[in-house]
Chain A
Amino acid sequence: MKIGITCPYSWDVPGGVQSHIRDLAEALIDVGHEVSVISPADDDTPLPPYVTGAGRAVPVPYNGSVARLSFGFLSVSRVRRWIKEGGFDVLHVHEPEIPSLSLLACWVASGPIVATFHTAIPRSRVLLVTYPVVRTGLEKINGRIAVSEAARNTLVEHIGGDAVVIPNGVATSRFRKAEPLPGWPGPGGAIGFLGRMDEPRKGLSVLLKAFETLGSERPGLRLLIAGRASDPEEVLERVPLELRDRVVLLGQINDEEKVRALHSVDVFCSPNTGGESFGIVTAEAMAAGVPIVASDIDAFRQVLRGGEAGELFVTGDPDDLARAAGRLLDDPGRRAALSAAALAAVADYDWSVVARSVYSVYETVVLGSTQVAVTASGDEFP
Chain B
Amino acid sequence: MIIDLIIVIAAALLMGVYVSWRAGRIDRLHVRVDMARAALDVTLLRRSSVALELATSGLLDPATSLLLAAAVHGTRPPGGYGGAGSPPMSGGGLGGVVPPETTQRPRDLAESDLTRALRAAFSQPDFRASLSGKEGADELLAEVEAAAHQVFLARKFYNDVVAATREARRRPLARVLRLPGRAAAPEFFEMDDSLVAEASGAPLGL
* Chain A interface (Cβ < 8 Å from any Cβ of B): 58-64, 66, 69-76, 99-101, 103-104, 107, 123, 125-126, 129-130, 132-134, 136-137, 381-382
**Interface pair B67/A60, CB less than 8 Å apart:** yes
* Residue of B whose beta carbon sits closest to that of A123: B103
Looking at the assembled complex, report how far the CB atom of B204 sits from the nearest CB atom of chain A, in whole angstroms: 6
* Residue of B whose beta carbon sits closest to that of A128: B73
* Bound: A19/B202 CA distance, A: 28
Asked if B113 CB lies within 8 Å of chain A CBs, one says yes
Q: Which residues of chain A are near B161, meaning CB under 8 Å?
A: none
**Interface pair A381/B61, CB less than 8 Å apart:** yes
Q: Which of B61, B103, B105, B112 contacts A72 (CB 8 A)?
A: B61
Q: Which B residues, 77 to 133, have Cβ-Cβ distances below 8 Å to chain A? A: 103, 105, 112-113, 116-117, 120-121, 124-125, 127, 130
* Chain B interface (Cβ < 8 Å from any Cβ of A): 55-56, 61-67, 69-74, 103, 105, 112-113, 116-117, 120-121, 124-125, 127, 130, 203-204, 206
Looking at the assembled complex, report how far the CB atom of B140 sits from the nearest CB atom of chain A, in whole angstroms: 16
* Bound: A179/B106 CA distance, A: 48
Looking at the assembled complex, report how far the CB atom of B144 sits from the nearest CB atom of chain A, in whole angstroms: 16
Q: Which of B72, B73, B121 contacts A125 (CB 8 A)?
A: B73
Q: Which of A58, A64, A100, A104 contacts B105 (CB 8 A)?
A: A64
Contact status of A58 and B70, CB under 8 A, knowing A72-B61, A74-B124: no
A–B complex contacts, Cβ < 8 Å, 17 sampled: A58-B203, A60-B67, A62-B71, A64-B74, A69-B63, A69-B67, A71-B63, A71-B64, A71-B67, A99-B62, A99-B65, A107-B62, A125-B73, A126-B70, A129-B69, A129-B72, A130-B73
Q: Which residues of chain B are near A99, meaning CB under 8 Å?
A: 62-67, 70
Contact status of A133 and B66, CB under 8 A, knowing A61-B117, A64-B74, A75-B61: yes
Q: Which residues of chain B are near A137, meaning CB under 8 Å?
A: 62
**Interface pair B67/A59, CB less than 8 Å apart:** no
**Interface pair B61/A60, CB less than 8 Å apart:** no
**Interface pair A60/B56, CB less than 8 Å apart:** no
Q: Which residues of chain B are near A136, meaning CB under 8 Å?
A: 62
Looking at the assembled complex, report how far the CB atom of A183 sits from the nearest CB atom of chain B, in whole angstroms: 41
Please report whether the interface of chain B is mostly helix, strand, loop or mixed according to DSSP. helix
**Interface pair B116/A61, CB less than 8 Å apart:** yes
**Interface pair B62/A103, CB less than 8 Å apart:** yes
**Interface pair A60/B116, CB less than 8 Å apart:** yes
**Interface pair B62/A132, CB less than 8 Å apart:** no
* Residue of A whose beta carbon sits closest to that of B205: A59
**Interface pair A75/B105, CB less than 8 Å apart:** no
Q: Which of A70, A129, A132, A382 contacts B63 (CB 8 A)?
A: A70
* Residue of B whose beta carbon sits closest to that of A136: B62
* Bound: A70/B120 CA distance, A: 11
* Bound: A173/B73 CA distance, A: 44
* Residue of B whose beta carbon sits closest to that of A125: B73
**Interface pair B120/A58, CB less than 8 Å apart:** yes
Q: Which residues of chain A are near B125, meaning CB under 8 Å?
A: 74
* Residue of B whose beta carbon sits closest to that of A132: B56
* Bound: A118/B64 CA distance, A: 21
**Interface pair A72/B66, CB less than 8 Å apart:** no
Closest 7 CB pairs of A and B: A71-B63, A61-B113, A99-B66, A99-B63, A72-B124, A99-B67, A130-B69
Contact status of A63 and B63, CB under 8 A, knowing A73-B130, A132-B56: no
Q: Which of B66, B112, B127, B206 contacts A59 (CB 8 A)?
A: B206
Looking at the assembled complex, report how far the CB atom of B126 sits from the nearest CB atom of chain A, in whole angstroms: 8
**Interface pair B120/A103, CB less than 8 Å apart:** no
Q: Which of A123, A126, A133, A382 contacts B56 (CB 8 A)?
A: A133
Looking at the assembled complex, report how far the CB atom of A350 sits from the nearest CB atom of chain B, in whole angstroms: 34
* Bound: A107/B65 CA distance, A: 12
* Bound: A323/B74 CA distance, A: 51
**Interface pair B62/A72, CB less than 8 Å apart:** no
**Interface pair A130/B130, CB less than 8 Å apart:** no
Q: Which residues of chain A are near B120, meaning CB under 8 Å?
A: 58, 60, 71
* Residue of A whose beta carbon sits closest to that of B206: A59
Q: Which residues of chain A are near B65, meaning CB under 8 Å?
A: 99, 133
**Interface pair A133/B55, CB less than 8 Å apart:** yes
**Interface pair B66/A130, CB less than 8 Å apart:** yes
Q: Which of B66, B112, B113, B121 contacts A134 (CB 8 A)?
A: B66
Looking at the assembled complex, report how far the CB atom of A295 sits from the nearest CB atom of chain B, in whole angstroms: 30
**Interface pair A382/B117, CB less than 8 Å apart:** no
